[in-house]
Amino acid sequence: MPVHTNEDLPSPFGDPGSIFSDSELRETAYEVLMCACRGSGPKPKVKKALGLKSESESELEPESSNTSEEDGNSSGRRAVTTGELMRVQLRISEQIDSRIRRALLRIGAGQIGRRVDLVVLPLELIQQFNSSDFPTQQEYEAWVRRNLKVLESGLLLYPNLPLDKADTSAQHLRRIIRGALENPMSIGKSPESMQTLQTVVLSLACRSSDGSVLDSCHWADGFPLNLWIYQTLLETCFDIHKNTAVIEEVDEVLQLTKKTWAILGINETLHNNCFSWVLFHRYVTTGEVENDLLFASSNLLEQVDKDTNATKHPFYSKTLSSALSLMLSWAEQRLLTYHDTFHKDNIESLGNLVSVAALSAKILAKDISHEHNQKMKQTDVAYTRVENYIRSSLRVAFSQELEKVNPSKHVSGRQNRAFASLSVLARQISELAHLEKTVFSPKLKRWHPLAAGVAVATLHVSYGNVLKQYIKGITELTPNAIQVLMASIKLEKDLVQIAVEDSVDSEDGGKFIIKEMQPYEAETVILNLVKSWIKIRVDRLGEWADANLEKEVWSAEANEECFAPSAVEVLRIINETLEAFFLLPIPMHIVLLHELISGLDKSLQEYILKAKSGIGNRNTFIPAMPALTRCSTKSKFHGVFRVKEKSLVTQRRKAHVGTTNRDNSFNIPQLCAQINTMQRICIELGALEKRIVADISSSRSATDHDIENEVSLKFKLSPVAAAESTHQLCESIAYKLIFHDLSHVLLDGLYVGEVSSTRIDHFLQELEQYLEILSSTVHERVRTRVIVKVMQASFDGFLFVLLAGGPSRAFSLQDSTIIEEDFKSLTDLFWSKGDGLPADLIEKHSMTARAVLPLFHTDTEHIIQQLSQLTMETYGPSAKPRLPLPPTADQWSPREPYTLLKVLCYRNDEAAAKFLKKKYKLPKKLKIIK
């Protein structure tokens, strides 16, 4: 197993190596032990209390090791007493043991009843032996030098009570020891020199701070000599053949070791402190494999923590601080990066190491010079330290994961690869977070109730800092950008979920941790990117539509269905845009779909509105009403009328100059192409809306709520615009055809001059040709609407000729029969013997004309009477002397004064002319030639 050298972890008690070798310390420790062991007491079970395993309980594989000659147990027999066991553990030979026991017997015989703490053991040993008691002179000299170094260390170098610089005894002893170290044989030359040595040693060992002579000797209780010796004794708790195992007799060994406390100045607190260090040091130097050693060290520190407030000795404070600082420093080196050291197989060690670090930090944080300490602050020490370990280790772990994918190498010109790396990093961080939750946090929760929450918050911030860098470089919606953003969304959900679960039982419900986790707002970034994506495509659609509408000729021959090629392209672009949207690797955001459809809808609406601009409407093609006039009759030859006919037509046209605002930019086939285009748009939009619903339903991220409540996703503006355009186009086709394209046979020809010779036949012939064009060109779904509008315009045109036909027309009562026959021929054209429009539809739209036509065979007096009566009803008796002119009517009607007035204006008889002159002062129009 790996073993760390002592240099890896320096001793908190200083390095004795410059004064004593290991063997010298072991022999001195054994001498102190043997001197102290003059009785026995109760034997507490330390092993069980500390949670230590003995050699027989250890699960480690036994290590083969040969017993050295130093251990003195070459026979391999088991030690039968604790003292014998400790001799073996300290590697003291039987020869040395025998000599020490012999010396102690001599000392005891000469000082019967003398307390152990009154014996300066090194001095006594020097007095008891000479060179003849040793196998060789060199061994004797080494023995003398060791005991002199013990005296020098205990009385001069590290005395329990500081030396007075003016103390001559110290100076005297220093000279004696210096000389003896150079010539060990001179130490026992004469009884006088030995007496001098004894006098000087005892004067220093038994002095007090007030100058009085003590009844006890202090020669080995100065720091750090006492701890060097005591640590050496505590090391005997470990098996010399298995350096990670504690011997079975650890209770007996510790009980025997405690007998040295009086000589070494050790108490329970110092023992716990020193033993905790010894266990910790053994754990470290043996490769950190035996967790029980760390566990026992932690248990001892808990006792040290309890004893700290009761212990005020500065020597203890210095010792404690030194040991705890080293333990804390070593532990924190690993805890600040605990992911590098610990895993699920050694996770128990993490808990014990945190316990050691937390207790060390807590004890060090106490001001032991004051009696009162705030318990909450002490508790917060461990809490704060553990939080620091979590944050530090996870930052390091994050940096290591970041280094693996290392997106920084791909920034220059390789943004897409950087995005891919960040996606991988997000998955790795999620795995790290779940590892933290399941393996590390349960152990750390003892000191920090929100251990997992702190961990994921740290990871959240770390990844967020990297993510923000790369979000700045995203300028458009690309698959790689979406991949990173989606990965970050999933990571954030995982981290937040862990934080929420970890904080269920906390007072604030984890609000503090969640507040630390500032949202990545990746969904907002995606939202903005998609909005930008939508805007770009909607703008392109609008630009394309504008450019191509300018080139559109609206040719009915462009394709079989007679609609505009520009509409085909517009619809294709819309369809491809929707398909591309559903292929975006993002969650289906209904808001975004609404925005996309709204943008496309608006662009399509603009296309429709621009496409129909200039087509005109009903009022565009109906001429303005001519001025009110009256007819006057005068008999002429028929030949004269024929000579004057051209002049009469010219006058009629002049009468209508400026009364209409006709737009001849589109012919009937072009208008048919336009109306077919609007119909095509409506049909395609319906299909698109069904496809959208299907795409939503098949979307992995779609919810039942989306499917149930978003099936109404529809284009709203463009269908309305298309419907309005269709209506306007139907009207424009009808009134352009009747009042513009057929004006030469209707307005310029029908009933001009002689009624019987200018009947409706010519108009019907040309109208029928146009109806055939419409029937073969206009889409079947709109065909009936167009023809109905043409029929309605025909009826309006027929009434316009009768009631506002200008100065070239005048009707007698006899003409009414011709008029009614012509109107029937007009209606029959649309009925077409049952192959045309339904009779009820014809009846509905001809109601106005059928109501007005009877006025043309009603005698003039009756019409005058009706007009007068209706005017009186409206204006009262004040209108009797002179009837006011009725306002222009919106619709012709036999019960409407303006209609009656117009009939009288075109009535070719004297009574009508007189009435109009008398009541309204109307001027004469063209004289009618009979």
Domain boundaries of the chain, sorted by first residue:
22-39+80-226, 284-407+414-516, 524-626+667-697, 858-929
DSSP 798-861: HHHHHHH--TT--B-TTHHHHHHHHHHHHHHHHHGGGTSS-HHHHHHHTHHHHHHGGGGGS-HH
Q: Report pLDDT for 661.
A: 40
Answer for the pair 12, 364: CB distance below 8 angstroms, yes or no. no
Amino acid at site 289: V
Q: How many CB atoms neighbour CB 839 within 10 A?
A: 12
Q: Provide CB contacts within 8 A for 519, sequence distance 6+.
A: 492
Coil, helix or strand for 731? helix
Distance CA 570, CA 630 (A): 57
DSSP 110-123: HSTT--GGG--HHH
- Look-up of token digits 């030690």: 79
Helix, strand, coil share of the chain (percent; to 5): 70, 0, 30
* Encoded tokens for 808: 């070239």
Q: Report pLDDT for 47.
A: 56
Q: Report pLDDT for 554.
A: 86
Q: Provide CB contacts within 8 A for 195, sequence distance 6+.
A: none
End-to-end Cα separation, the chain, in angstroms: 139
Successive 10-residue mean pLDDT values, the chain, 930 residues: 56 91 96 78 53 53 37 48 91 93 84 69 90 91 94 94 85 90 81 88 86 78 94 94 90 94 91 94 92 94 81 76 92 94 91 93 70 51 93 95 72 52 92 95 93 95 91 84 90 93 79 87 88 91 87 79 87 92 78 88 92 86 90 50 42 42 69 91 90 77 52 83 94 94 95 93 95 91 94 96 92 95 95 87 95 95 92 77 83 94 94 91 69
Q: Domain 524-626+667-697 belongs to what architecture?
A: Orthogonal Bundle (1.10)
Residue closest to 685 by CA, chosen among 720, 710, 709: 720
What does the buried/exposed string (b/e) look like for 352-366 if buried means 16 or more CB atoms within 10 Å of the residue's CB? bbbbbbbbbbbbbeb
Amino acid at site 632: S
* Encoded tokens for 508: 């604030």
Q: Report pLDDT for 326.
A: 93
| SS3 labels along 409-466 | HHCCCCHHHHHHHHHHHHHHHHHHHHHHHHHHHHHHCCCCCCHHHHHHHHHHHHHHHH
Residue 388 to residues 130, 268, 358, 384, 391, Cα–Cα distance (Å) = 62, 33, 11, 6, 5
Q: Report pLDDT for 368.
A: 45
Answer for the pair 278, 235: CB distance below 8 angstroms, yes or no. yes
Whether the bond into 626 is cis, omega within 30 of 0:
no
Q: Report pLDDT for 456.
A: 96
Q: Which residues pair with 238 in a beta bridge?
A: 246
H-helix or E-strand spanning residue 633: strand 633-634
* Max intra-chain CA distance, the chain: 189
Coil, helix or strand for 552? coil
Q: Report pLDDT for 658.
A: 34
Full-model pTM:
0.71
Half-sphere exposure of 64 (CA within 13 A, CB side): 0
What letter does residue 223 receive in the DSSP assignment? Answer: T
